[in-house]
C-alpha cells in the first residue's frame, strides 16, 4: 500500500515532502511502470454502459461576467462547490466544479487590464488555483501548499505553507501576448483526483494584435477541453484514490500508479459530443486536460484538399507563421490553436475527430456535421506574430534535469523524482538570475512525461512538427530529451516545474527561484 506523505514526513530526515510513491520494472518496487495506448498509466473500466457516441450536442462553457470593473481592473468571483451533471444516461454525476460546473466558466481577459479572481471554497477539502500559462507573481501563481481551506474548516494536516480561510483573491497582471490559458486545481498531494472531479476551466487572453487578424471569430472561435473519465455504478466519476474522501492518505491504488486513463472521452464535459458546423473556417482552441492520456488527433475523413489542421498558436500564443498538420499529437496540459476549414466538405458530410492512439471508445473524440452553407470573410494570413528567436548563445547557464523513478527504496516503494530527488518545498533545484536566458536539458525515463514549467515561457530547440513558438509544456516519450531555452524576465520569486501526468505531479516536481 502506498504510504501517506504524513507518515513519510515522520520517517524522513529534514522534512522532505514525499508524495505517494510509485515503482516499476524489475529494479523498483511498489507497482509497475505501465504504458497503455501510448500513455503512461492503465485504463480504469467503467461499471456502467457508456453513452452512445455523437448523440450529445457539444456544450460551450459559459463566459464569466465581471462583478465589477474599474479603470484598469476586471473583478470576478468563483465559488468552488459540488454540482451535478448528466453525463451517463439516466444517472447524475457529482462534479467538483468552479461555480459547480465542469468545465468551469471561461474567463476572458484583455492584455493591459489586470484580472482579479476571488475564489470561495465550499468544497470539503482545501484547494489551490494555478493559472496555467500565466505570467503571474509568485504569491498568486498557485504554489501547491498555498491552500484555501474550506469555509469554516481547518488546514489539511501535513501541509506546510501559507493559507487562506474560505476565500482568496488571485491577482493576474497578464502582461503577456494573447493566448489560450487555463486554470485548475494545484493542491499538494491531491491535484490528480481534484482535477479529475472537475476543477478545470479556460482563461482566454486577447490583445489588439490577435483581434486585428482575419481569423474566425465569435461563434466560430470554439474552446475544446478534452478529458477522459470512467464512471461507477451510481454515475459518479470513478477514481482509484486510496482515500476517496481526499482528506487523509493521498495516492492511488497500485494498478494506477503510472496514471489513470478513463474509458470515456469527454469534450467540454460531454461524452463524444457532436457539433453542427457551416462549410466555413472555424478556430478551435484545443486543450488536453486529461490526467494521464495523450492523444493523436486526426480528421476522418480527412479533407480532399488542404491540411486537416492549420496550427496558428501554441501554449503561449500565436505562432510566427501558420503550420499545416494532418495529425496533432497533444500531451497533457498542451494547447493547440488551430483552424479547420469545413469548406473542403459538402453539406451533409459527417466528420469525426479521432484519436489515433486510442482503442475502441477512446479512438473517437467528437463529431462534426456540416449542416449548411455559410458566408466566410475569415482567412489565415501568412504572418501571425513577431517571435524573437532565442539562441544557445543567449544562455548564461545550462542545466540537466532528469525525470524518472529513481533512488533508494523506502518502505517498499521507489519514488518518481527530478534529478533523483523527491519534492521538498525547501529545496531549490535551479536559481536563475532575473532577466537572463538559460538552457535546460529535460530528459524523461521509465514512461512518457509531459513537463510543465511555471512562469517562464520557453522555446524548444529542434522542436519537431508540433512544438514551435513559445511553450510552457513539452511532451517527452520515455528516453526522450528536449533542450529548451527559457527567458526569466517576468518576476522574481519561487516557482515549480513538474511532470503534468497528474498521478506523477506531486512527487515529480521541483522548485526554481528567480533571484
Residue-wise pLDDT tens digits, 245-275: 999 888 899 899 999 999 999 999 999 999 9
Q: Is the per-residue pLDDT at 443 higher than 70? A: yes
pTM: 0.93
The residue that leads in pLDDT, 29 or 201, is: 201
Mean pLDDT on 493-509: 95
Does 21 or 333 have the greater pLDDT score?
333
Predicted local confidence at residue 505, as pLDDT: 93
200-206 and 473-476 strand pairing: unpaired
User: How many percent of the chain have pLDDT more than 90?
Assistant: 85
pLDDT at 296 over 90: yes
* Separation between Cα atoms, residue 359 and residue 368, nearest integer Å: 20
DSSP letter at 189 equals T
Task: Give me the mean pLDDT over the 307-331 stretch.
Answer: 98
pLDDT the model gives residue 4: 35
Q: How many of the other CB atoms lie within 10 Å of CB of 292?
A: 29
Q: How far apart are CA 290 and CA 239, in angstroms?
A: 13
Please report the pLDDT score of residue 413 as a whole number. 60
**CA triplet 442, 25, 406: central angle to 5 degrees?**
45
Rounded CA separation 452/498 (Å)? 6
pLDDT grade, residue 31 (50/70/90)?
A: low
Q: How many residues does the chain have?
A: 515
Average pLDDT of every residue of the chain: 91
Per-residue pLDDT of 337-386, as tens digits, reads 999 999 999 999 999 999 999 999 999 999 999 999 999 999 999 999 99
Residue 201: predicted pLDDT = 98
Q: What digits encode the pLDDT tens for the residues 4-28?
A: 333 333 233 223 333 333 333 334 4
Residue 231 has pLDDT above 50, yes or no: yes
Q: Mapped to the 3 state alphabet, what secondary structure does 382-448 carry?
A: CCCCCCCCCCHHHEEEEEEEEEEECCCCECCECCEEECCECCCCCCEEECCCCCEEEEEEEEECCCC
Give Cα separations from 203 to 107, 109, 191, 265, 326 (angstroms). Answer: 5, 7, 19, 22, 27
The pLDDT tens digits of the residues spanning 139-161 come to 999 999 999 999 987 655 445 55
Torsion angle of C-alpha atoms 358, 360, 362, 367, degrees rounded to 10: 110
pLDDT of residue 162: 64
Task: Calculate ∠ Cα 263-264-268, nearest 5°.
Answer: 145
Residue-range domain boundaries for the chain: 218-372
- Cα–Cα distance between 200 and 202 in angstroms, integer? 7
Please write the tens of the pLDDT for every residue from 84-130.
999 999 999 999 999 999 999 999 999 999 999 999 999 999 999 99
Q: Which residues pair with 476 in a beta bridge?
A: 449
Give Cβ neighbours of residue 212 (< 8 Å, ≥ 6 apart).
Answer: none
Nearest alpha carbon to residue 484 among 492, 472, 498: 472
CATH 2.60.40.420 fits 218-372, yes or no: yes
C-alpha cell at 401: 534535469
pLDDT digit string (tens) for 397-434?
Answer: 999 999 998 766 654 566 789 999 889 999 999 999 99
What are φ and ψ of residue 290, in 5° steps? -70, 155
pLDDT of 283: 98
Q: Give per-residue burial for 172-196: e unless 16+ CB within 10 Å, then b.
A: bbbebbbbbbbbbbbbbbbbbbbbb
pLDDT of residue 32: 73
Q: What is the pLDDT of residue 482?
A: 97
Amino acid at each position: 500500500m502506498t504510504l501517506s506523505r504524513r507518515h513519510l514526513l515522520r520517517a524522513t530526515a529534514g522534512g522532505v515532502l514525499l508524495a505517494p510513491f510509485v515503482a516499476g520494472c524489475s529494479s523498483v518496487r511498489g507497482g509497475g511502470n505501465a504504458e497503455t495506448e501510448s500513455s503512461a498509466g492503465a485504463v480504469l473500466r467503467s461499471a456502467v454502459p457508456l453513452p452512445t457516441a455523437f448523440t450529445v450536442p457539444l456544450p460551450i462553457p459559459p463566459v464569466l461576467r465581471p462583478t465589477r470593473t474599474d479603470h484598469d481592473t476586471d473583478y470576478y468571483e468563483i465559488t468552488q462547490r459540488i454540482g451535478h451533471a448528466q453525463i451517463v444516461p439516466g444517472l447524475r454525476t457529482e462534479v467538483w466544479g468552479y461555480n459547480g460546473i465542469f468545465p468551469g466558466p471561461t474567463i476572458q481577459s484583455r492584455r493591459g487590464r489586470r484580472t482579479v479572481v476571488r475564489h470561495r471554497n465550499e468544497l470539503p477539502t482545501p484547494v489551490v488555483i494555478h493559472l496555467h500559462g500565466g505570467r503571474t507573481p509568485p504569491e498568486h501563481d498557485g504554489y501547491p501548499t498555498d491552500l484555501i481551506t474550506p469555509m469554516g474548516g481547518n488546514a489539511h494536516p501535513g501541509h506546510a505553507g501559507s493559507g487562506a480561510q474560505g476565500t482568496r483573491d488571485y491577482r493576474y497582471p497578464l502582461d503577456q501576448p494573447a493566448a489560450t490559458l487555463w486554470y485548475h486545481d494545484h493542491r499538494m498531494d491531491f491535484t490528480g483526483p481534484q482535477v479529475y472531479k472537475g476543477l478545470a476551466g479556460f482563461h482566454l487572453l486577447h490583445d489588439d494584435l490577435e483581434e486585428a487578424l482575419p481569423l474566425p471569430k465569435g461563434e466560430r472561435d470554439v474552446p475544446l477541453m478534452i478529458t477522459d473519465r470512467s464512471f461507477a455504478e451510481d454515475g459518479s466519476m470513478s477514481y482509484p484514490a486510496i482515500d476517496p474522501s481526499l482528506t487523509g492518505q493521498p495516492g492511488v491504488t497500485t494498478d494506477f500508479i503510472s496514471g489513470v486513463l478513463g474509458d470515456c472521452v469527454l469534450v467540454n464535459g460531454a461524452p463524444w459530443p457532436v457539433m453542427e458546423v457551416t462549410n466555413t473556417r472555424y478556430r478551435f482552441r484545443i486543450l488536453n486536460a486529461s490526467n494521464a492520456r495523450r492523444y493523436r488527433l486526426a480528421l476522418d475523413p480527412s479533407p480532399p484538399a488542404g491540411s486537416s489542421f492549420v496550427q496558428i498558436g501554441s501554449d503561449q500564443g500565436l505562432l510566427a507563421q501558420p503550420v499545416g498538420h494532418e495529425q496533432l499529437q497533444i500531451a497533457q496540459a498542451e494547447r493547440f490553436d488551430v483552424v479547420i476549414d469545413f469548406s473542403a466538405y459538402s453539406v451533409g458530410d459527417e466528420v469525426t475527430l479521432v484519436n489515433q492512439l486510442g482503442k475502441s471508445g477512446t479512438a473517437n473524440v467528437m463529431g462534426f456535421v456540416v449542416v449548411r452553407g455559410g458566408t466566410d470573410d475569415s482567412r489565415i494570413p501568412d504572418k501571425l506574430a513577431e517571435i524573437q528567436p532565442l539562441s544557445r548563445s543567449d544562455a548564461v547557464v545550462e542545466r540537466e534535469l532528469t525525470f524518472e523513478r529513481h533512488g533508494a527504496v523506502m518502505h517498499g516503494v521507489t519514488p518518481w523524482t527530478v534529478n533523483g530527488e523527491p519534492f521538498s518545498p525547501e529545496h531549490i533545484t535551479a536559481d536563475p538570475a532575473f532577466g537572463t536566458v538559460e538552457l535546460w536539458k529535460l530528459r524523461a525515463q521509465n514512461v512518457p512525461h509531459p513537463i510543465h514549467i511555471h512562469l517562464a515561457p520557453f522555446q524548444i530547440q529542434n522542436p519537431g512538427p508540433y512544438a514551435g513558438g513559445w511553450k510552457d509544456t513539452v511532451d517527452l516519450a520515455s528516453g526522450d530529451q528536449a533542450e529548451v531555452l527559457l527567458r526569466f524576465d517576468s518576476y522574481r520569486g519561487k516557482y515549480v516545474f513538474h511532470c503534468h501526468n497528474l498521478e506523477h505531479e506531486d512527487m515529480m516536481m521541483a522548485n526554481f527561484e528567480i533571484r
